[in-house]
Amino acid sequence: MKLEEIIKPLLSWYEENKRDLPWRREPTPYHVWVSEIMLQQTRVEAVKGYYERFLTALPQIEDLAACPENKLLKLWEGLGYYNRVKNMQKAAKEIVLKYGGELPADYEEILELPGIGSYTAGAISSIAYGLKKPAVDGNVLRVLSRITENGEDILKQSVKRRVEQELEAVMPADRPGAFNQSLMELGAVVCIPNGMAKCQVCPVQHLCSARAHGTVLEYPKKAAKKQRRIEEKTVLLIQNGQEYAVCRRPDKGLLAGLYEFPNMDGWLTEEEVIRAVEALKLMPLHIKNAGEAKHIFSHVEWHMKGYVVRVASTEKRAGNLLFIDKKESKGKYPIPSAFSAYRKYIEED
DNA sequence: AATGCGGGGCA
DNA sequence: TGCCCAGCATT
């Protein structure tokens, strides 16, 4: 099978079957960029709402460059991988300074921007600028590994690099964006990752080696993942009248720069919690169990026990704690989904 | 080359 | 529960 045989059937199929997605309506470089960053390791359905809200709040690259960080993270709250949006703002500032507020129409220059790797650079180059550059993501690697029955580990960088070279050599110069999207679209709706691939409706089924041999479900091959570690935490919902305590996480590492409820490593007893609160120069009045919760990240699990602690204090700050008003703070502080089980304790009554 | 980085949907 | 998702940066 020659790789270029897939081009015509894929393009025809794509024109007939492509989904109506928000970022396909007006594919300006900025729009394509925002959508591609949001779509990194994130499903289309999860992105749709965020995409519309983000562009309504920040319609131009200049708006993104000038946005305060808390507002920026708030727009991303719940989407995950928060470095994506921080890098996007860094890039926006560079674009304003160096390129007059427009993304450069050049693959290598786009690739230099923070948060943009070969996939995203290829997607922007091909979809927004019509440049002949491949956009090889997980979908593309899966589809091609099945068509060619290639048993190499698609997580290896070397495999991705070779696929990029092979595609660039054969992809159509007149419709690079449609070609790239046709491969991804096929992976998303036909040659799907979980469950049964819909080979009966596949436009390249006659070219697919795995289909011919009944081995579709054996591809793609991937190396086994490392096991997650487990962390036990005690989460405090510290209430002082109409205010509750939050603190900002460090600038590096997990959930960097987001806000959280004060918490400590390990499971503390009520007595230990009382003493910990006193150590913060707060006077505990009452403590109540807030139950257990679990949150799973890709590389770690949090097993949390929560306590509601009512305190007496006139301080706005205690240590690195920040007491914020239940009403006034509404929508201001980005708090990750890991704490969603405990939000109800600090919402308005 | 290996690891860190979120969150949710689905088999 | 485990797997995967329109990946990238850092080490």
Q: Tens of pLDDT along A139-188?
A: 999 999 999 999 999 999 999 999 999 999 999 999 999 999 999 999 99
**Protein footprint on strand B: which nucleotides are under 7 Å from a CB?**
1-11
- Tell which CATH architecture fits domain A3-218: Orthogonal Bundle (1.10)
Tokens of A152: 């190499």
pLDDT of residue A348: 61
Strand C contacts (CB < 7 A) among A residues 244-263?
Answer: none
C-alpha A342/C-alpha A349 separation (Å) is 14
Task: Please check whether residue A301 is in contact with residue A295, taking contact to mean a CB–CB distance below 8 angstroms.
Answer: yes
Q: What is the largest CA-CA distance in chain A?
A: 75
Same fold across A3-218 and A229-343: no
Query: Does any strand C atom come closer than 7 Å to the Cβ of A193?
Result: yes
Tokens of A275: 């003493």
Tokens of A237: 């919902």
Strand B contacts (CB < 7 A) among A residues 100-119?
Answer: none
**Protein-to-nucleotide distance from the CA of A47 to the C1' of B11, whole angstroms:** 22
Q: Tens of pLDDT along A9-61?
A: 999 999 999 999 999 999 999 999 999 999 999 999 999 999 999 999 999 99
Query: Does any strand B atom come closer than 7 Å to the Cβ of A227?
Result: no
Please list the active-site residues of A.
36
pLDDT of residue A75: 97
- Selection from A85, A65, A89, A61 nearest residue A75 by Cα: A85
- The tens place of each residue's pLDDT in chain A, 349 residues long, gives 889 999 999 999 999 999 999 999 999 999 999 999 999 999 999 999 999 999 999 999 999 999 999 999 999 999 999 999 999 999 999 999 999 999 999 999 999 999 999 999 999 999 999 999 999 999 999 999 999 999 999 999 999 999 999 999 999 999 999 999 999 999 999 999 988 999 999 999 999 999 999 999 999 999 888 889 999 999 999 999 999 999 999 999 999 999 999 999 999 999 999 999 999 989 999 999 999 999 999 999 999 999 999 998 766 666 789 999 988 777 789 999 999 999 989 876 4
DSSP string, A91-137: HHHHHHHHHTTS--S-HHHHHHSTT--HHHHHHIIIIIH--------
Q: Which residue is nearest to nucleotide C3 (CA to C1')?
A: A194
Class of domain A229-343: alpha beta
Question: b/e string for A64-87 if b means 16 or more Cβ within 10 A?
Answer: bbebeeeebbbbbbebbebebbbb
Task: Please check whether residue A82 is in contact with residue A255, taking contact to mean a CB–CB distance below 8 angstroms.
Answer: yes
Residues β-bridged to residue A301: A230, A296
Tokens of A268: 């503390």
Residue ranges per structural domain of chain A: 3-218, 229-343
